[in-house]
Amino acid sequence: MATPLDSIFSALADPTRRAILQMLLEDDMAVTDVAEPFRMSLAAISKHLIVLSAAGLITQEKRGRVKWCKLEPDALKGVSVWMQGFGQFEPVNLDAFEAFLAVELGETPPEGGGAALKSPTRR
């Protein structure tokens, strides 16, 4: 049986899902708008959205005929707390995480988007 952490890390393991989360940092988006920049079918994007929803990273709601996606900003707090429990990682800086994702995705980090992620330090 998968734990919430398993679901979150599994969801974050895929670059398409990380890109979707980055897009949703800006604002809620319709599913069709989420799918637009990707070279895959709407059905494939929907499968990614199901994984993100199951992990609690996003919520989806229907507004009229349109299905909207919304980032759940507190979803990563449990991951951050779990990582801090090892005592060898600094607290997760979400601005730095966003900048890291931008670099990984080959995009320009947002202005004032925080410093680059530091590598874990051992104590």
Along the 123 residues of the chain, how does pLDDT read in single tens digits?
A: 668 889 999 999 999 999 999 999 999 999 999 999 999 999 999 999 999 999 999 999 999 999 999 999 888 888 888 877 776 656 677 788 888 888 888 877 666 544 444 444 433
Question: Residue 66: its pLDDT value, please?
Answer: 94
> Is this model's pTM higher than 0.85 or not?
no
Q: Which of 79, 94, 101 is nearest to 15 (CA)?
A: 101
Give the C-alpha separation, 77 to 55, whole Å.
13
Task: Give which of 94, 73, 13, 40 is closest to 31, Cα–Cα.
Answer: 40
Q: Which residues pair with 71 in a beta bridge?
A: 58
Alpha carbons 11 and 30: distance in angstroms, whole number: 20
- Considering the domain 4-104, what is its CATH architecture? Orthogonal Bundle (1.10)
Helix (H) or strand (E) segment spanning residue 60: strand 58-63
